[in-house]
Structure 1
């Protein structure tokens, strides 16, 4: 009888603890996602306009941040941070017409990087898989931008002019993100994930 009373007395505390715990995790997740979006947005403002005729000739650090976030946090956060962060940059940075294309391209790119980096329980810990993830995402990003530019320019040839800049941007992003992730993965926060 005493054991039953003890269990009954503990049950409300357990339920209360669980109900309090869940919103805190959701709140933390929401705040973390917002911070990651802001990091991509700010990193995208660190850019160089390439001297090419195509409008897509912008090299920025947003891609490095997208790669870093997808490798550290996985496909969901990588996709959301990349799409919303760079989409907001297009909206507020004077590239409004590019925003829908960017949102689709960067959502897919962030998702692919995170999905491959987290494949088979790796959680972004394999440098080889992280590099493969970033490289595998580039053709998808290029394809989305190419199709988007074809629609914008009504021309199949003009969009090819922005591809070297897009490739350069991804190469710089990869060169920054991979060593940065290797360092950050050694911190207590990511070791305990």
Structure 2
């Protein structure tokens, strides 16, 4: 939506606003899930990050996600693995924006739903590999890390499903609000 305005004051302000909303969205509502690797929890940070990427474009959406998700990790006891979270945001942003470009930025309901599903699947894959790396960081052998990472995926799968459902809804709500504000 705002790909052409990424260097404007409006683009910078909206990027900061999305980063804050992502951070608050995780901080306010998170449900911890027991896992063999890490301390995963259910939250809406990924959904909000995908919405930011779709609305702000790859660069600013990715920055909002890195600041929001990475900032949360840094400030809430996940400092050692915050770089993995930020790397996951980059991968999701590259895949989603690449697919969006392949769709010629056609933001029909069908295309946005496909992008949200792709984001959820991408997040499951990146979280699996991030969990393997996290387990390896504490000295676990590779085979054990791979199995433990697999059994630590339930929170990620729930987050991916909520992203696939909620990101399209949020995208069209944000787009509608932005359009109404622009008309004033």
Return the TM-score normalized by structure 2: 0.77
Between structure 1 and structure 2, the one with the greater Rg is 1
RMSD: 2.5
Which residues of structure 2 form unaligned runs of 5+? 1-6
In the TM superposition, 1:114-133 aligns within 5 A as: 114-122=97-105, 125-133=107-115
Kept in 1: contact 2:38–2:131 (CA 8 A):
no
Mapped to 2, the partners of 1:36 and 1:188 lie a distance apart of 13
In the TM superposition, 1:90-129 aligns within 5 A as: 90-122=73-105, 125-129=107-111
Asked if residue 176 in structure 1 is aligned to residue 166 in structure 2, the reply is yes
In the TM superposition, 1:1-193 aligns within 5 A as: 26-45=8-27, 46-122=29-105, 125-137=107-119, 138-139=121-122, 140-153=125-138, 154=140, 155-187=145-177, 189=179
Between the two structures, name the one with larger relative contact order (CA 8 Å, sep ≥ 6): 2
Mapped to 1, the partners of 2:53 and 2:13 lie a distance apart of 16
Return the TM-score normalized by structure 1: 0.74
Mapped to 2, the partners of 1:72 and 1:91 lie a distance apart of 25
- How many residues align structurally? 167
Mapped to 1, the partners of 2:176 and 2:11 lie a distance apart of 21
| Cα deviation, residue 120, structure 1 | 4.0
| Cα deviation, residue 133, structure 1 | 1.8
More off after superposition, 162-171 vs 48-57: 48-57
Change (3 A) 1:132 1:56: farther
| Cα deviation, residue 141, structure 1 | 2.5
| Cα deviation, residue 69, structure 1 | 1.1
**Which residue matches 1:12?**
none
